[in-house]
Structure 1
Amino acid sequence: MSLTHLSVELIPRTEEALRDDTAAVKTLLPAADMLNIPDLMRFPLRSWDAAALLQPVFLSIIPHVRAIDIAPNAPLPGATQPGLQEILVVHGDPPADLSHRTYPNSTESIIRRYKKEAPHLRVYAAFDPYRRAPWRELEDVARKKEAGAEGFFTQPVFDRKLFDLCREWLRDETVFWGLSPVIGPRSRSYWETTNHVVFPKDFSPTLDANIAFAQTVLRELSGSEEKGAVYLMPLRVKLEHYLPPLQDVLN
């Protein structure tokens, strides 16, 4: 069985850069059938606007929506956007700019709003195996499903043991497994400090090692009877160095 979906996460820095990255994905990783776009406050281009920009080029695009940014009576981002089929609702980190207003929404409350006000949209939520005890995260998974989430995007995983554990925990769920290269000590420190990632003792922050792990996951999911999807988050690495070796294992 092949992957059900292969997505690439692209940062919406500018319209021009986003178009260039999208063209590179189509050339370097033709197996990719989706893009997902985070909504980052440090850039002016919103994720759903980026999705509209790229829809003529890529049919399936999943914008991320930050729950804490949505005012109670404000329209839901993307709810009436032509061609949009799916979104990912994340809670959202507090903004660095204190003038940016946020709201005390839960992820579940915004998922419920989407299911009521935009029932045509498929809604995904997040799963993070690092931020707290697994049983608490799995309780959140149950709450998000009850609210209407139809699948989950994981924080990137970096070792086989954790990947296997999470597969067991999320058995029978629709899951996009996150894979992201960690290259060098600064990149490793970012993940450890910001996302509380615990790397295995033998983890190697090199491009070759990260590509090898991603290839292992892609092969495993491609050959599995369970439905498997992946999203790639190629941070701080050139697409032409990271994507072609992954395409090779999918040919």
Structure 2
Amino acid sequence: MRISVELIPRGEAELLTDAAMVRSVMPQVNAFNIPDLMRFPTRSWDACKLTSGILPASIPHIRAIDIPPGEELPIADAIEAAGLREVLVVRGDPPHDMGHRTYPNSSEDIIRRFKRHSPNLRVYAAFDPYRAGFRDEMTAVHRKLEAGADGFFTQPLFDLRLLEICAEMLHGQDVFWGVAPVLGQKSQAYWETTNRVIFPAGFVPTLDWNRDFATKAVRAIQGFGGNVYFMPIRVNLAAYLTDLLPS
């Protein structure tokens, strides 16, 4: 099982500090994945070039709506030049800065372009059981597979029953299953409102509940042969990750 931790590229020094911290408190980790966030100056692929000195497997998130049209794909050249072998393509949210140019690409458009331009690059797509009904999401899964997707990163899940259902839906695919701590009522409300998450009846937005759930989720993911990525946003990395997994 591959274990990735998502890092926020706030700045080069802070990123490297966080990467070293994760490596120290969770020795089982063997990859980082890094989103491309417009509010920070460091692009995801540049951040991954930095963290690849700590863990070679660093996976940048690529926002499809940021890619200009045409057959050229300079971003793929930059990714390969950095020695990176995997990317995650997401559609991307519209920027708050309206001066930032975007394009009407779907994630399938950019997956297809990556596979044409860099056939040896492993390209992951997104899977989100909350954004639409299961049928619509599986239709999207098939479109992404037809475009050339090699696997999926899921939206973080918070219910073991939903995890098992989604595992059946994605049976046979290479999947990184998302696990994220949600701490406090404001954070819970954000996930419910923005990401349309439905938490299980027994959910409590505490560190103890989230660590206990993470342990159970990893055990279930191991059982069906998947990978996991942790998204420890707005939480002390050491407090959440230390001794989270058996040595």
Report the CA distance between 1:201 and its aligned residue. Answer: 1.9
Contact 1:159 1:199 in 2 (8 A): yes
Could you say which residue in structure 1 is the equivalent of 2:233?
Answer: 235
Report the CA distance between 1:76 and its aligned residue. Answer: 4.0
Letter in 1 for 2:4: S
CA distance in 2, matches of 1:149, 1:240: 33
Contact 1:78 1:84 in 2 (8 A): no
Contact 2:76 2:114 in 1 (8 A): no
User: Counterparts of 1:174-193 in structure 2 under 5 Å?
Assistant: 174-193=174-193
CA distance in 2, matches of 1:140, 1:75: 24
CA distance in 2, matches of 1:81, 1:19: 20
User: Counterparts of 1:76-95 in structure 2 under 5 Å?
Assistant: 76-79=74-77, 80-95=80-95
- SS where residue 177 of structure 1 aligns? strand
CA distance in 2, matches of 1:209, 1:172: 30
Alignment of 1:41 onto 2:38: yes
Report the CA distance between 1:113 and its aligned residue. Answer: 0.5
Report the CA distance between 1:220 and its aligned residue. Answer: 2.1
Task: Extract structure 1 runs of 4+ deviating beyond 4 A.
Answer: none
CA distance in 1, matches of 2:75, 2:34: 13
Contact 1:39 1:63 in 2 (8 A): yes
Letter in 2 for 1:48: W
CA distance in 2, matches of 1:152, 1:121: 14
Could you say which residue in structure 2 is the equivalent of 1:138?
Answer: 138
- How many residue pairs get aligned? The number is 244
Structure 2's unaligned 5+ residue stretches are none
Could you say which residue in structure 2 is the equivalent of 1:70?
Answer: 67
Can you list the C-alpha shifts for 1:7-30, whole angstroms capped at 9, x where unaligned?
A: 000000000110000000110001
CA distance in 2, matches of 1:143, 1:76: 24
Could you say which residue in structure 2 is the equivalent of 1:172?
Answer: 172
Letter in 1 for 2:84: L
Contact 2:63 2:89 in 1 (8 A): yes
TM superposition score normalised by structure 1: 0.94
CA distance in 2, matches of 1:221, 1:53: 29
CA distance in 2, matches of 1:246, 1:61: 21
Structure 1's unaligned 5+ residue stretches are none
TM superposition score normalised by structure 2: 0.96
